[in-house]
Amino acid sequence: MANPLLKIENLRIELTTRDGVAPVIDDLSFELGQNEAISFVGESGCGKSMTALAIMGLLPEKIGRVASGSILFDGEELTQASDARLREIRGNEISMIFQEPMTSLNPVYSVGEQIAEVIRAHQGLSKKAAWDMAADLLDAVRIPNARKRVGDYPFQMSGGQRQRVMIAIALACQPKILIADEPTTALDVTVQAQIFDLLRDLRKETGTSIIMITHDMGAVAEMAERMIVMYAGRGAEIGPVDQIIEHARHPYTKGLISCVPHIISQLTEDRERLTEVPGIVPGLAQFGRDMCLFASRCNIRSGRCLEERPPMQRFENGQLAACWHAEDV
């Protein structure tokens, strides 16, 4: 990709636990282009949100650190940036929508005050100008009667409306990258569809690139051009969404797709029943082992999978997969 907006190379993030130091992200590489939407997908605990926190410079203090690798944003190396510089970037150039809006919003301030605070912090507008802009943003994210609702408190809004407020805060400074971490968690399917429509429209209007974090393969097919399948802190498969859904090269990816009944229009005979990925993600202490960490759950594993870590292999259309038996999947 020529001149990517975000380029991550060989990223390794270590977390200090009671059992020692563990690589929660292990040798991850990917790129994000201008006005592109990509999605991280995988089970809970696979490293999706930790990658986002590293990009934002929000790794847990004292216990989390970037051990090696590069996070290059618009030509600037973020792993070497000062805390002051990271504060300038956060919210202004890279914004994040967190999972649970009820806990992310401050219950004692109105939603307008919380949006205006971000605007004033990064753009230096007057209190009145920031308040007017907050109302405009609520209108942009399709909250009815925005001029009246700007003074409401979070508890006065529904779950879908609170999520729209979080999107308004994230877009307040027209960031170059918007990270959406499980943006539709706990919302019903109708509201989920509305949030996805909103994000698509805002992307068209603003040109913002989107990184969506989810465990829902259906949401990936709905929102992104490319996907990064994560497993136990490692990239399992990377490539165009359509290509991966039609021809997954990693058995974990194939298992995730098989769990979704509607993602492929015609079910083959072997998919008349829903399938499951057996077993569970290995514990954090196992993440750094020199082997395929999916081997214990895989039905095509061989002795090599238990002894050597598979490298990323490149296939047609830029598809990448880390599996010794990718040709057989």
The pLDDT value recorded for residue 219 is 84
Q: Is the pTM of this model over 0.85?
A: yes
242 Cβ partners below 8 Å, 6+ apart?
none
Residue 324 DSSP SS3? coil
Q: Do residues 252 and 282 lie in contact, with contact meaning Cβ atoms separated by under 8 Å?
A: no
Q: Do residues 220 and 232 lie in contact, with contact meaning Cβ atoms separated by under 8 Å?
A: no
Q: Do residues 326 and 239 lie in contact, with contact meaning Cβ atoms separated by under 8 Å?
A: no
Q: Is 279 exposed, middle or buried (0-12, 13-18, 19+ CB in 10 A)?
A: exposed
Nearest to 231 by CA among 298, 153, 139: 298
Nearest to 230 by CA among 57, 60, 24, 66: 24
CA-to-CA distance for 226 and 38, rounded, in angstroms?
A: 5
Nearest to 114 by CA among 146, 147, 154: 154
Strand partners, 313: 321
96-97-102 Cα angle (round to 5): 140
The pLDDT value recorded for residue 288 is 87
Other CB atoms within a 10 A radius of the CB of residue 267 amount to 11
CA-to-CA distance for 159 and 77, rounded, in angstroms?
A: 37
CA-to-CA distance for 228 and 226, rounded, in angstroms?
A: 7
Nearest to 179 by CA among 4, 49, 1: 49
Nearest to 118 by CA among 106, 107, 130, 129: 130
CA-to-CA distance for 159 and 274, rounded, in angstroms?
A: 30
Q: Please identify, in words, the CATH class of the domain defined by 6-93+175-328.
A: alpha beta
Tokens matching residue 30:
């990917």
Element (H, E) at 177: strand 177-181
CA-to-CA distance for 204 and 113, rounded, in angstroms?
A: 27
The pLDDT value recorded for residue 37 is 96
CA-to-CA distance for 320 and 54, rounded, in angstroms?
A: 23
329 residues of the chain, pLDDT tens digit each: 778 999 999 999 999 988 889 999 999 999 999 999 999 999 888 999 999 999 999 999 889 999 999 999 999 999 999 999 999 999 899 999 987 767 789 999 999 999 999 999 888 899 999 999 999 999 999 999 999 999 999 999 998 899 899 999 998 988 999 999 988 877 788 888 888 888 998 899 889 999 999 888 888 988 999 999 999 999 999 999 999 999 999 999 999 888 776 555 555 555 556 677 888 889 888 898 999 999 999 999 999 999 999 999 999 888 999 999 998 87
257-260-265 Cα angle (round to 5): 90
Please state whether beta strands 37-41 and 209-214 pair in parallel, antiparallel, or not at all (unpaired). Answer: parallel
Tokens matching residue 91:
């919210």
